[in-house]
Amino acid sequence: MSIPQFAVWAPVPSAVTLHVRPVGGTATTVPMTRDEEGWWTVDGPLPSGPSGEPGVGEFDYGYELDGSGEVRPDPRSRRQPEGVHGWSRTYDPFAFAWTDERWTGRQLPGGVIYEMHVGTFTEAGTFDAAIDKLDHLVGLGIDFVEIMPVNDFNGTWNWGYDGVLWFAVHEAYGGPEGYQRFVDACHHHDLGVIQDVVYNHMGPSGNYLPEFGPYLNSGGVNTWGESPNLDGEDSDEVRAYIVDNVHQWLRDYHVDGLRLDAVHALHDTRATHILEELSIEAEVLSAFVGRPLTLIAESDLNDPRLITSREGGGYGLTGQWSDDFHHALYVSLTGDTSGYYADFDSLEALGKVTEAGFFHTGTRSTFRGRSHGSPIDTLRTPTWRLVVCSDNHDQIGNRATGERLSARLNADQLAIAALVTLLSPFTPMVFMGEEWGASTPWRFFTSHPEPALADAVREGRKEEFKAMAWGDVEVPDPQDPATFTSSKLDWAEPEEPAHAALLALYRQLLEIRRTVPAFTDPRFDTGHARSDDDEHWLVLTRDDAAIVVNFGSEPAEVHLEQSATTSLLQVGQVEVAADGTTVRLGPTSALVTHVELPNLPTSFTPGS
């Protein structure tokens, strides 16, 4: 839907007045008139901009509701130079001089995602500074950059999930024009962009939407805040608000996909679920712009309906995260079975995830105290629809001190984590700095200026994960600026020998993924897993390739069902017997190999 400048949906107040001024000029007020749908439009002359034409140019503006004397920002504001409590500023996204006209997009199948937080990816913490690091991502073998939320929030730094103005790009990162420069540069580097968006709740500070209209669900809140009104009275306009935001990213800002945060918290009882509606909109827009548009859900429901086609009765999303993969791999590497990791205390769990996509498929979850997941068969689902990782912002940041796997594992264990993830049949995701084993932590940080809110966040942080085995570790204060600055990547590290070795391994693994078809084969039924918890080994086979891993601290001997023919990669001490079926593994070691199968080549040469 096309929204004219200086129009606002506000069915709650009985009077709305526009306050507007040319940037650097004098403010004036303009009365507004309401239509029967609750939309208010200007009913008087607008001030002149630099060109001398009324209403043409750059303006700061806001809305006064019911003569309150307070000026509120526009719910659809694209710029907030003074923060979420300040006046909005007009911004024309179509004025940007795009240079990506040759960009035809990227499909998710076969792709590799890199998750980054703009504020900590570089020392400067801006879009422009991130552009300077894009060559690093290309050299690594990345296909998509997934940016953690950048919509406006109160404060200077934040993870981004407390946003309250969904259309405005946070000024500290570079604002909307800086964002467009970044997307344009990514496309010139043949990198797609996936934007992380949060539609399941509003942040706690600067949320003025209820003063305008019934944007929020009167029935209550979810874990993180007040839920949107997706199915109540006047929910049509709320859903349009979300749909228009999707259009902003995918159409106006040329983004290639969205990661939809915690969709299990979207309460929607209408016949067409909001996720299906977004899927439809993405398909329509994709046909118009002529490039693939991807929607990836974060969901802990383990429900294949999200990624089942609409023709098949599903929501039709492109992909979804599989946290089960992370949990199973994490337990196999660390032995940590506290909290929600308890169910994954077996290598069979990791094997099942690679064979079925999820571990919990209607099975009992001891952490939840009930059965979890859907028993619906995933075998007809392409494997690439599931996004997996060995670490991500949630899993690292929700540990007591924000320690990465690199703080807990040795070099061979980190290599195994990379190997199992990057050569999995799924869509792998790398968290920024993981590729060189960054020593910097990734901590939970906030900058709420309200003392009461800051205290609530500190206490909530301690309570939320008390079920985990944190012991007596002191949790860093989220409000301490040092918690934020310590989470910034150190870009000198990739040049250091130990870090450089791991980085070289990541590049090698992604090259193998690109050149050996078995590792991007999307069929679940071409994969098989075997494991032994006593001997701590796991064998994963796909087509004519096999991965053999010894997670244990003692040597292990594994007998393959097919003869190994060509070693593609080794970690640690590995010996393949002359018969090709016996593999002797030293402690914490792994082998990636081709295996001999009937009527299949024993090796693959690109272009053959």
d(CA 346, CA 420): 16
| Residue at 277: amino acid letter | E
- Catalytic site residue from 143, 244, 256, 261: 261
C-beta neighbour count of 296 within 10 angstroms: 28
Location of structure tokens 């969709």: 263
| Residue at 426: amino acid letter | F
CA atoms within 13 A on the CB side of 560: 32
Q: Please name the helix (run of DSSP H) or strand (run of DSSP E) that holds residue 567, with its range, or none.
A: strand 564-571
Is the Cβ–Cβ distance between 168 and 203 less than 8 Å? no
C-beta neighbour count of 166 within 10 angstroms: 23
| Sequence-separated (6 or more) residues with CB below 8 Å from residue 97 | none
Rg (CA), the chain: 26
Q: Please name the helix (run of DSSP H) or strand (run of DSSP E) that holds residue 590, with its range, or none.
A: strand 589-595
Q: Is 569 helix (H, G, I), strand (E, B) or coil?
A: strand
d(CA 158, CA 172): 11
**Residue 146 known to be catalytic:** no
Is the Cβ–Cβ distance between 339 and 465 less than 8 Å? yes
| Residue at 206: amino acid letter | G
Q: How far is CA 100 from CA 113, 181, 183, 228, 599, in A?
A: 20, 10, 9, 35, 44
Q: How far is CA 441 from CA 87, 136, 376, 401, 406, in A?
A: 36, 20, 38, 8, 9
Q: Is 428 helix (H, G, I), strand (E, B) or coil?
A: strand
**Tokens read off for 399:** 């540990």
Question: Hey, which residues does 72 pair with through a beta bridge?
Answer: 63
Is the Cβ–Cβ distance between 396 and 442 less than 8 Å? yes
d(CA 281, CA 288): 11
Is the Cβ–Cβ distance between 301 and 309 less than 8 Å? no
Q: Cα-flanking dihedrals φ and ψ of residue 71, to 5°? A: -100, 120
Residue in 192, 211, 199, 97 with CA at minimum distance from that of residue 146: 192
CA atoms within 13 A on the CB side of 69: 0
**Residue 525 known to be catalytic:** no
- Catalytic site residue from 146, 244, 298, 343: 298
Is the Cβ–Cβ distance between 572 and 585 less than 8 Å? yes
C-beta neighbour count of 364 within 10 angstroms: 12
Angle at the Cα of 394 from the Cα atoms of 185 and 460, rounded to 5 degrees: 130
Helix/strand/coil (H/E/C) assignment for every residue in 93-159: HHHCCCCCCCCCCCCCCCCCEEEECHHHHCCCCCHHHHHCCHHHHHHHCCCEEEECCCEECCCCCCC
Angle at the Cα of 485 from the Cα atoms of 480 and 489, rounded to 5 degrees: 150
> How, if at all, do strands 151-152 and 165-169 pair?
antiparallel
The strand ranges marked E within 126-210 are 144-147, 151-152, 165-169, 192-197
Residue in 37, 40, 79 with CA at minimum distance from that of residue 61: 79
Question: CA 297, 301, 302, 307: dihedral to nearest 10 degrees?
Answer: -40
Active site positions, annotated: 261, 298
